[in-house]
Structure formats: C-alpha cells, structure tokens
Amino acid sequence: MTPRNGRRQRRGRTLLPLLALVASCLGLTVLVQPVDAAPAPEPVTVDVAAGGALYQRYCGLCHANDGDGIAGTGVESGPGLRGLPVAYVDLTIRTGRMPIVHDEVGAIEKRLTDEQRQAVVAWMTREFGLEGEIPEVLPGNAGQGQPLWLTNCAPCHSASGSGGISADGSLAPDVTGVDPTGVVEAIRVGPFEMPEFGNRTLTDEDAADIAAYVQELAAADTTPLGLTHIGRVYAGAVTGVLALVMVGALVLVVRTGRRPATPPQGAPPEEAVVARRAEEARKPEGPAPGEDGGTRS
C-alpha cells in the first residue's frame, strides 16, 4: 500500500462519522417540520333549549338568569352578559378562564363539553343578543407563525406558551392547551387584560399561523432526541444549525487533508533531502583510488 493510498483510507475513515451525523441531522429536520393547523370543524346542529338549562345551572348563579349580572364584590357576583361579542363568551366557556371574583371561588375550571358549549352560546346569542360571530380559522403555517408569536405574544405568554407575567403585572395564562379557534378568538377580542389585535396588526392569515404554532407548542412531547422542552419547531431550528455546523466541519476536514504533511520539528528542508539523495546517486560504486584495498607499485 502506498503512502497516498493510506492517507486516502484514513481520510475516508475520518469523514464517515461526520457524514453519518450530518445525515442524521438532516433527517431529523424532516421529522420535526411544522404541520399546518387543521381547519375548524363544520358547525353542527345544537339543542338551544338544552343550552338554556345549562346556563341556568352553571352561569345564572353569578350572571343572573336574565344575563344582567349581579352587582357587588361577593362570591356570587358577576358582570352582565348582554351585547357582548359572541367570540368573547365562546372563548371564556371554551377555556373555562374567567376573572377571579373572590378568593373563595378561585379559578373557574372548564366544565362543559364542546356540544354543551355550543348549545349555551346559541341560547345566549338568542336571549342576550350576543354580537358578531365566532371567527373561522384558516389553514395556518406554524413556521410562519413562530416569529409572529415571538413578537406579539411571547412577551406575556413566554416563548414556550406556558404563561407568565405581563409588563403591568397581569397574569398571562398557559395557552398550550387552547385549540386554534380559541387562539384566534383571543387575538380578536382581547379577553380580560389582553389587548385586542385587529386586522391592521394581524391579518386572518397571521392569526391562523399563530394558532398553528400554538398547536406545535402543545405537541412538543412528540419531538425526537429529547428536544421536548423547546417544541418541535425550535427542535427543527436546532437540528438545522447542527447540520450546518457538521457541514462546515466536513469542509474543514477535507481542506485540511489536502495540505502537504508537515515535516517533524528539526528535520532538514525537503530541498536539502533531495540534493543529498542526488549527490549519493552520482557517487561511483566501489572504493575510490587511494582507499584501503588498492595496490601500490
């Protein structure tokens, strides 16, 4: 085996692990590509009368049976509901999040199924004149929603969507369990301390992209290689960076392998070695005149 062939084999053994790592990173980026949010389901027929019974049972105690609210600051007090945006009411029931009116009450938990919620909202719309409509969620792109989320939502809800404290000290809830319709409703109506985002700030497409990204945050447990805590979209970005680093390392190794070998420290220059070998080749074979083994007359 010639020295050149040996160097090639050693270089090949060096590059194989790097190539395998690059291929793994590129494959991982495919696995964690963001998935578009599914469109909102088609509306179903609801039992409006059943919605009225549910309202009397769960809502009337604080908001009054006629929807005018109950004044005061006690446990059984709540604001009037007449003329509110239907998306606001639907979001509140959908998430179960309502202002804490008293420490004894605490946070209101979600209690109704989707069918029950639709029935209650339909009854309240008819009886209390709720305005507007529940927004239709367009198909969204989580990759495009990420920068929109980081700019408009993360300052309060955190980059991971797990909630936080806003600049004015208000508590921003965890949104990772909110479905796409609920996310878009919150963007449009601005519940509680949250500001309202109109079409000039976020278009319907922007809102749908943010909703798709929130679903990616909620699906973080499906991320391979233990990148669960940063979400699948962030995992894709991380693995993409790793792939670029590995490609750069590969290029560096290839370029380094092309450089001539550096002689050991203290070794004579290559030109001197070549000259010495040429001089040795010109010397005649056998002893020179006058050396031992010659004859004298």
Q: What is the pLDDT of residue 109?
A: 61
40 or 144, which is more confident? 144
| Mean pLDDT confidence for 17-26 | 53
**pLDDT, tens only, 180-222:** 999 999 999 998 888 899 999 999 999 999 999 999 998 765 4
Check residue 297 and give its pLDDT.
44
- Torsion sign across C-alpha atoms 48, 92, 130, 153: negative
Q: What is the pLDDT of residue 286?
A: 59
For residues 266 and 166, give the distance between their C-alpha atoms in angstroms, rounded to a whole number.
67
Residue with more model confidence, 27 or 111: 111
Q: What is the pLDDT of residues 230-265, one digit of tens each?
A: 444 455 556 677 778 777 777 776 666 655 555 555
Residue 248: what pLDDT? 76
Q: How many CB atoms lie within 10 A of CB 173?
A: 20
Is residue 228 scored above 50 in pLDDT? no
pLDDT digits (tens, 9 = 90+) for 87-100: 999 999 998 887 65
Measured CA to CA in angstroms, residue 28 lies from 225, 241, 295 at distances of: 9, 12, 85
Average pLDDT for the chain = 75
Of residues 34 and 99, the one with the higher pLDDT is: 99
pLDDT in tens, 100-129: 555 555 555 667 899 999 999 999 999 999
What pLDDT, on a 0 to 100 scale, did the predictor assign at position 78? 81
Model confidence pLDDT, tens digit, residues 139-190: 999 999 999 999 999 999 999 998 888 777 878 888 988 999 999 999 999 9
Q: What is the distance between the alpha carbons of residues 29 and 44, in angstroms, rounded to a whole number?
A: 38
In sequence order, which residues have a C-beta less than 8 Å from that of residue 128 and are 6 or more positions away?
A: 67, 81, 82, 83, 84
Q: Which residue has the higher pLDDT, 12 or 153?
A: 153
